[in-house]
Amino acid sequence: MVSCYARDSYLGRYLIKRNYFYTKDREKSADSTYDEIMTKVAAIKDRYYNELIETPAIFTQIKQVLDGVISEIEIKENSIGTNIKR
């Protein structure tokens, strides 16, 4: 499983969570998913630090990145971004 939790640094609340599930035989695919998420989120951070995007755009761009990642097993509960506390 690959999990991604993005949180607001000002208030410390979670903004979005995603879990991507793989069978044990597909460990390399899970590693690739992790690397893909880390690379794309780092690019978003760089755009923010270089003042190419504003703070409200961070959530939108992270959501687009995470919505584009496909896992091997889909669980319906994880298809909608939710807060950690329900």
pLDDT the model gives residue 21: 85
pLDDT the model gives residue 75: 64
Average pLDDT across the chain, whole number: 81
d(CA 18, CA 3): 6
The 10 Å Cβ neighbour count of residue 2 is 19
Nearest residue to 64 (alpha-carbon basis) of 45, 83, 31, 41: 41
Over residues 40-56, the pLDDT tens digits come to: 999 999 999 998 988 88
- Which of the pair, 9 or 38, is modelled with greater confidence? 38
pLDDT band at residue 82 under the 50/70/90 scheme: low
This prediction's pTM: 0.72
Q: Domain coordinates of the chain in residue numbers? A: 2-77
